[in-house]
Amino acid sequence: MFLRNRTVEMHEENKQEEWQNTIDDIVNNQGWDSILQTLQDGRKRIRIEEEELKKQQEKKEREERDAPEREETRKKEERAREEREAEELEREEREERKREEREKESREARAAYEAAQYQIEQEYERQRIFQNEQTEREKREANQAWQESLKQTEEHENSQREFFLKLVRESFQPTTVEYGNIDKHSIIKTGKNLRTIAAIILRILIKALIK
């Protein structure tokens, strides 16, 4: 409305200026043809200006009529934009939650694997220590058994040696000779002792060869 009033005022001012120019032309003794042409030109300009004002007014009225529709369109576009932004935000939140869940599952799986690996390592270490202890115990027992076997063998050999020496001493004792005859029983006893000594020596040699 202000624009329209201002345009009308400018139009009136232009008209007054044109009339003033026309009067000045008459006063300056210009020709009537020039004056008429000036008036025609002035009317033409006025008509053009009025048409322009009419077009501007119609345009303004159309804009005013279309304003509610444009506002509604703007609101729809704004709502659509807000919905798109909300959907985009929701999608990003879903992706963030999924990413966090995957990271959590990955951490839990890694923790479970590390725990299982730790248990395996602990069990392996326990078994290793147990095997080492068992091996050492078996070594000690075997060594002890071997020492006892050596001791028993040595005692047995000593016993056999003493028995052998005893037989030898008994075998080489003086034989009784009476009236030029040798004691028959002494000879038989000496032969038996010699056979026993030979058997003992043979067993000792066999054991030595086996070792």
Question: Which of these ranges, 48-62, 107-121, 144-158, has the smallest mean pLDDT?
Answer: 144-158
Entry pTM: 0.32
pLDDT of residue 112: 87
pLDDT confidence bin for 22, thresholds 50/70/90: low
What is the spatial distance between Cα 38 and Cα 46, in angstroms, rounded to a whole number? 12
What mean pLDDT do residues 22-48 have? 65
Q: Give the dihedral sign, CA 7/13/19/21.
A: negative
What is the spatial distance between Cα 21 and Cα 15, in angstroms, rounded to a whole number? 10
User: Rounded mean pLDDT of the chain?
Assistant: 74
pLDDT of residue 194: 64
What mean pLDDT do residues 158-165 have? 71
pLDDT of residue 7: 57
> What are the residue boundaries of the structural domains of the chain, listed by start?
2-123
For 76-103, how does the pLDDT look when each residue is reduced to its tens digit (9 = 90+)?
A: 899 999 999 999 999 999 999 999 999 9
What is the spatial distance between Cα 173 and Cα 186, in angstroms, rounded to a whole number? 10
Element (H, E) at 177: strand 177-178
Contact between 19 and 43 under an 8 Å Cβ cutoff? The reply is no
Residue 34's contacts (CB-CB under 8 Å, 6 or more residues apart) are 25
User: HSE on the CB side for 195, CA within 13 Å?
Assistant: 5
